Each structure stands twice: as structure tokens, then as C-alpha cells.
Homo-oligomer: A and B are copies of this chain.
Amino acid sequence: MANIPDHAKIVHNGILFDVFAFEQPLFDGTTKTFEMVRRNPAVEIIAVVDGKIITLFQKQPGRETGYYSLPGGQIDPGETPIVAAKRELREETGYEASELTELFHFNGTSKLEFHEHIFKTTNLTKKTEQSLDGGEIIEVQYSTFDEFLQLARDPKAAIAYELKMTMYEALLDDRVYHEFKSKIFSS
């Protein structure tokens, strides 16, 4: 939804967020300074093992309570989304993915440009142990498709907002349910 205009000027170059400002023409012919934020892009992976979806229960520094998520994280500078997805999956779960398919590419809300790439894979081999940063605590769990959809309803589940909406739609609409399920589990 949000893409920062090419002519915008960067006013803050940060670690996780960059801020941009630009003159936006209004409908009455005047202009106004608008501000938008770009957040570093991220990936999430819907990874299927033995007919179940890998979900995580995480405890992270700075967050008071544990929360559910999919494997995923920030794309590092220079990484492609697919390389980041393979790396995050390996670090957080120990699984190595030989093939990944991009299911969705979201790009944020009206004032926030945030590219989130959602991949799926059914080709996993367990090769390594988790390798976590700074004492992260991540528990790997295995959910049925129906259990996975219920995660959308947990306000604390850290799942891309638009992906949650697709999960809600699958709960409301039988056609979406079957299409989404078949996209995830087809090899």
C-alpha cells in the first residue's frame, strides 16, 4: 500500500527505521510536508513438516510476555528475501529448506513502507541445531492448518498484519480456506 515517493528526502537514517519527508501537492493546489517511515524489510516462512506447520513460541528481550510467530525476521543488508528466509529458518528451527515459494509480498500501511515477504516450503531437512542471538528463547512447535489459522485471533501473535487478515478470511470463507490450504501444502 505504501511506497515512499522517489523524490522524498531522507531525514533520519536509522538502524531499523528510516524517515522521509516530501512536499505533497494537495487537491486545492497548495502543498504540505508529508512524512513517511520505511522499516527494514522482513520475511516470514510457512514451513510444512509431516503435514504440520512450524510455529514458534518466543521470548525476546524487551517484550514482557512470550508470543507466537512464524519463523522469520529481518532481511540483512545485501541479502535477497529468499536467502534471508532460508537463513532465518535455519537459525530459528535448524531446518534447511531446499525450495521456497513466495506466497505474498505485502508493503505496509499508508504512512509506513514495510516490505514483508511470506514464503512457504514443503521441502525441509533437519540438519542443524538452532543458532540463536543473545540468548533468544525460541521453542519450535508443530500446528495443524486449523491450529495455525486460530493464531490470527491472538492479538499477541506476531504475524504480518495482512497475513492475519488472510487467515481470518480463511476462517470466514470456505473457498479462501481451501485455496490457502492447498497453496501451503502443495509441493
Which residues of chain A have a CB within 8 Å of any CB of chain B? 1, 11-12, 14-17, 19, 21, 24-30, 32-37, 39, 59, 61-63, 110-112, 133-137, 153, 155-156, 158, 161-162, 164-165, 168-169, 171-172
Contact = CB atoms under 8 A, between A and B. Distances in A.
B21 A14 contact: yes
A22 to B, nearest CB: 9
Task: Provide the main secondary structure of the chain A interface.
Answer: mixed
Contacts of A16: 34-36, 111
* Number of copies of this chain that the complex holds: 2
Given A17-B37, A19-B14, A24-B61, A30 B171 contact: no
Contacts of A12: 11-12, 14, 19
A134 B169 contact: no
A181 B24 CA distance: 39
A153 B169 contact: yes
B34 A110 contact: no
Contacts of A35: 14-17
Given A135-B26, A136-B27, A34 B17 contact: no
